[in-house]
Amino acid sequence: MFRARQRPAAIRRDRPHASSSRPIFSSARLAALLGAILLATTLLAAVSVRAEDTEMPRIRTNQAYIEELARPTTLAIDNPVAVFAAVFGQLPDRVKVYPTENYYYFTFLHAGAPYNGNIRLDASDRDQGKLHFAYSEDLADWREETDVIHVALDATNDVQVEKVERFLYRVTFRGKSVLFELNDLSGVKPPDGLLGPDEKFVGPIFDESGLRFFLVFNARLKLFHYILDETAPVPEQFVPAKSGRIVLGKRTGYGFFVDDRRPRKILVGVAFANSRVNNYFDGPFDQLPDNFIEGDAFRDMIVAVAPELKGKIDRFGGWGDGAQRFMIAPYYYYQRDSELAAFDRCASDKRIPEANHYACFVVDDDSQQNFSPIPRAIKELRGKGRKKG
């Protein structure tokens, strides 16, 4: 059975849960750090001293947060057009949209409550003059899910979206124009030797965590992997887990298997706590390489994994007028990093045929629902054992 997620990501998407899958909000991101809740960098107290080609770290102070919190604000928070006007009005003349599903994230404080949201130029309808805007109060472990407000804006709302270049769009609203520069990763390719003979490169991914990935499809095993892109500086420090070849990112909590066959790191784990609050570190499943998908090749890969979707999905893997999308999340949402040892054990299990080695780094919904990771290769091995019995 395949997993689906909402698209556009103005609605909360499926998150792992011990007993059921509940939708989570993936378009409006919780600011993971205290300073990230500031809407503009002008609100940050920063020290930046040039030293050769590097700079001193930029500090974020509690003072700035307190003073922003105390600042009286007026906003019709239940009116999405009014909120869009407030956000858009504070943008500079040109912005850079880093995530590859084209979300421009923001946060703000209003009346003592933290909010987060995004402006999105969706690859499926931006050339038709549409823009997606969504926001909500922040998610938190201790409270029920907050309501999401989403609206698709176009000329009927006095919003004009104009394509200037392939990766550059001009958005105009009430006399103000902002250029949205999408992330041009068209020249990013896996280096020689990174992919195996059965693997196909789908496209480059820039996650909102700041990490880059290569989305890869194994045509023989019919599975996807997210492989860390290390062709550019990686803004992360990795520490070894107690289990063999697993390393964990200090900042993101992402867990990787350091491949012993090829020079690469395969994403195998994302912290469940981050998924629950839907912050920047909830995994790259919602940053697919939409700007770089050409023709029907990606759709065909999805159909190979989920044949029941044949004739029902578009080239992005969406259906239902684009409201639903095939979810690619082969990694495991862990509660304790020790759980990721299952991938290392599978990779070193002598019973696993070499041809099935890379099925060691994929888990299914049952593993997630039970919070007990059983790699696909192990499940298939057990299945063969039962048949022989």
How many C-beta atoms surround the C-beta of residue 155 within 10 A?
11
How many whole angstroms separate alpha carbon 221 and alpha carbon 99? 28
Segment 1-12 mean pLDDT: 52
Rounded distance between C-alpha atoms, residue 324 and residue 307, angstroms? 17
Average pLDDT of the residues in 56-75: 96
d(CA 344, CA 96) in angstroms, rounded, equals 38
Give the mean model confidence (pLDDT) for residues 239-260. Answer: 95
290 HSE (CA, 13 A, CB side): 27
CB of 137 within 8 A of CB of 31?
A: no
Terminal Cα distance for the chain, rounded: 26
pLDDT band at residue 5 using 50, 70 and 90 as cut-offs = low
DSSP, collapsed to helix, strand or coil, labels residue 86 as helix
This prediction's pTM: 0.86
Residue 18: per-residue pLDDT: 36
Report pLDDT digits (tens) over 265-319. 999 999 999 998 989 999 999 999 999 999 999 999 999 999 999 999 999 998 8
pLDDT at position 16: 43
- Beta-carbon contacts of residue 321 (< 8 Å; ≥ 6 apart): none
Helix then strand count (H, E) for the chain reads: 7, 23
CB under 8 Å to 191, separation ≥6 — which residues?
Answer: 231
Q: Is the pLDDT of residue 389 over 80?
A: no
- Residue 382's pLDDT is 84
Which range, of 21-30, 53-62, 339-348, averages the lowest pLDDT?
A: 21-30
- Answer for the pair 250, 337: CB distance below 8 angstroms, yes or no: no
pLDDT digits (tens, 9 = 90+) for 99-128: 999 999 999 999 999 999 999 999 999 999
**Chain center to CA of 54:** 28
193-218 mean pLDDT? 98
Torsion angle, alpha carbons of 271, 273, 276, 277, to 10: -110
Query: Between 256 and 4, where is the model more confident?
Result: 256
Q: CA-to-CA distance for 116 and 100, rounded, in angstroms?
A: 19
- Per-residue pLDDT band for 48 (boundaries 50, 70, 90) equals very low
Angstrom distance (rounded) from CA 198 to CA 336: 32
Q: Regarding beta strands 265-271 and 332-334, do their DSSP bridges make them parallel or antiparallel, or are they unpaired? A: parallel
Torsion-angle region of 253 (φ positive above 0: left; ψ -120 to 50: alpha; else: beta): left
Confidence band, pLDDT 50/70/90 cuts, at residue 192? very high
| For residue 46, pLDDT beyond 90 | no
Please write the tens of the pLDDT for every residue from 8-43: 444 333 444 433 333 333 434 434 433 443 433 333
* Chain-centroid distance, C-alpha 358: 22
Structure tokens at 183: 């992330």
Q: Give residue-wise pLDDT tens across range 127-138.
A: 999 999 999 999
